[in-house]
Amino acid sequence: MNRTIYALGLAAAGLLAASASSANAATIQSFDSGWYTNSGFTAGVANINVGSSNLSGAIYNNYLAFNIASLAGQTITSATLTFYGGNGVNTSSTSETLGLFDYTGSINALLSDQSSVGVFTDLGNGASYGTAEIAAGAIQQFSVTLTQAAIANLNAAANSQSDTRFVIGGSLQSVSGPWANEQLFAIFGPQTALSPAAYLTLETTAVPEPASWALMIAGFALVGSALRRTKSRVRFA
């Protein structure tokens, strides 16, 4: 009987370990990016632009769009956003603070390049997805660890039955106001536009199949039953 209990225990533990060891890392490139100004204007370009321009007086909020349909059926446990380096910075400060936010509006409207003050506002407030301090000068590649709010929304998008796209908004938190020379990623022209502009690195755990759960439950139930029978025999021996 002890051998039976031991074998059943090993089988159940093996199934549990197999389900727990199914963690993976996924890399998802942005499929679209761009910006909106505080007047609602958007140019439909792919380069990143966030901050305040001392030439136009406009303030820019940025967006990054990802499609995470490939992660359906998995649970995302951690997320990092990495911006590719090689773009420029235009700031009179020694550094700037980039804030990342959720986007709750229509993704179709966002990507359609129709002017919208509402889209601009949505990209720069709401749930925080993380922050980054960026030094003045040429921007190198940098990463931001995303918050639990971002992870929750990533999981919702990955397992959505209607729309598996995920958007991250960006706003320069250190901007002192319009006409300020505080602008990040402010290089224009097709020769410098970045596409893709950034990528997500996601740690995921696969959700066990129903059959695996059933086997584990049955295995543990058999172990419990065997232990009860063993105790009963000992008691009446």
Quick: pLDDT tens for 110-146: 999 899 999 999 999 999 999 999 888 877 788 999 9
Residue from 198, 203, 204 nearest 29 by CA: 198
By the 8 A CB rule, do 132 and 98 touch?
yes
**Which residues fall within 8 angstroms of residue 192, CB to CB, at 6 or more apart?**
47, 87, 88
Tell me the two tokens of residue 9. Answer: 């225990």
Q: Where are the domains of the chain?
A: 1-22+209-237, 23-207
Question: pLDDT tier at 101 (50, 70, 90 boundaries)?
Answer: very high
Mean pLDDT of 224-231: 59
158, pLDDT greater than 70: yes
Q: What pLDDT is attached to residue 93? A: 87
Quick: pLDDT tens for 56-73: 899 999 999 999 999 999
Q: What pLDDT is attached to residue 131? A: 97
34, pLDDT greater than 70: yes
Helix (H) or strand (E) run with residue 201 in it: strand 198-206
How far apart CA 156 and CA 138 sit, in angstroms, is 36
Model-wide pTM > 0.85: no
How far apart CA 134 and CA 98 sit, in angstroms, is 7
Highest mean pLDDT among 16-30, 170-184, 205-219: 170-184
How far apart CA 34 and CA 197 sit, in angstroms, is 9
